[in-house]
Amino acid sequence: MAVQAQYPSNLLLLNTNNSNNNDDYSSALQPPHQLSRKRPRQPTPIPIPIPNNLMNQFNPPPPPPQQQQHQNQNVVSTGLRLSFSSQQRLQWQQTSSLLSQQLADQIKQQRHEIDQFLQAQGEQLRRSLADKRHNHFRALITAAEDTLARRLRDKETEVQKATRRNAELEARAAHLTAEAQLWQAKAKAQEATAASLQAQLHHAIMNAAYGGGAGPAGTADDAAAGVMSCAEDAESAYVDPERVAAAAGPRCRGCERRVATVVMLPCRHLCVCGECEMHFRACPVCLTVKNSTVEVFLS
């Protein structure tokens, strides 16, 4: 019993079996008369040293006092390894439960780490997508601003060109208006001059036709001469219109018979009549190419 308490029962059974085998072998080698006379002596089993780590594997940690007392009540030592089998089964159950608990803890920890990793990756992906979206929107806004600024610059350039062109047209219109007013003033002045000259010419013609009468101290010869001149004037009552026209204003440089009534532009020379104007492409006075003409009516 002391040996059985010190070593496991399986080792004792192993040693016993080995000794029995040796006895059988030795008895087989002995002669038959010796077998019949005396019984062989059984050898004393030699204890085999076992390492501590191996012993620790076979010796499980002591259970709690209540569980140990309960096990001691149920364990019956019969020498047939029943107590060792129960202990081994209990040890395996405890080991399996411990391994199951550790495995569950490891699985829980791994799951927690995986959840944290997935959460971190999701957060990083969300930030990356937000940054990309922000950069994309910024690029779109920048492109739209550049396009709008370019279009505004083009429109401002067009507006400046239109304003400059409008100013030029307004200046041209003002110049043409002033020039037209100047020409109207000059035409009125020429009309007034022509009217004055025509009145003077008419008065001179009338004086020339009816002038030279006898005064209160005149002689009969003078009266007769006046009568004769009146008769001659009566006889010559027809007046050549070309001569009257020649005396009424400047002559036409084309036909030299009619009065010049057309003003050449831009030189402003009154030098041709209305019938000869179409035959001249330049002013006959200064030889300037004409742009237009203005007809003056002398009354």
- Which pLDDT does position 298 carry in this prediction? 66
Q: Could you tell me where the DSSP H helices lie in 211-287?
A: 220-235, 241-248
- Which pLDDT does position 217 carry in this prediction? 40
pLDDT band at 146; cut points 50, 70, 90: very high
Average pLDDT score over the chain: 70
Q: Where are the domains of the chain?
A: 1-59, 94-180
pTM: 0.29
**Residue with the larger pLDDT of the pair 28 and 160:** 160
d(CA 34, CA 36): 5
Please check the confidence at residue 237 and state whether its pLDDT lies above 60: no
Please check the confidence at residue 114 and state whether its pLDDT lies above 90: yes
- Which pLDDT does position 44 carry in this prediction? 53
Which range, of 42-46, 265-269, 284-288, averages the lowest pLDDT?
A: 42-46
pLDDT band at 233; cut points 50, 70, 90: very low
pLDDT band at 58; cut points 50, 70, 90: very low
- pLDDT, one tens digit per residue, over 161-203 is 999 999 999 999 999 999 999 999 888 888 888 888 888 887 8
Please check the confidence at residue 102 and state whether its pLDDT lies above 80: yes
DSSP assignment of 156-172 = HHHHHHHHHHHHHHHHH
Q: How far is CA 264 from the centre of its chain?
A: 62
**Residue with the larger pLDDT of the pair 271 and 2:** 271
As a whole number, mean pLDDT of residues 100-111 equals: 88
- pLDDT, one tens digit per residue, over 3-39 is 444 444 444 444 444 444 444 444 444 444 444 454 5
Please check the confidence at residue 60 and state whether its pLDDT lies above 80: no
Look at the alpha carbons of 251, 252, 257, 261 in this order and tell me if their dihedral is positive or negative. Answer: negative
- Which pLDDT does position 112 carry in this prediction? 92
Which range, of 58-72, 122-136, 147-161, averages the lowest pLDDT?
A: 58-72
As a whole number, mean pLDDT of residues 264-281 equals: 86
- Which pLDDT does position 291 carry in this prediction? 86
Portion of the chain with pLDDT greater than 90, in percent? 25
- Which pLDDT does position 51 carry in this prediction? 47
Nearest to 260 by CA among 286, 287, 293: 293
d(CA 186, CA 191): 8
As a whole number, mean pLDDT of residues 283-287 equals: 87
Please check the confidence at residue 148 and state whether its pLDDT lies above 50: yes
Contact by Cβ (8 Å): 264, 295: no
d(CA 71, CA 63): 9
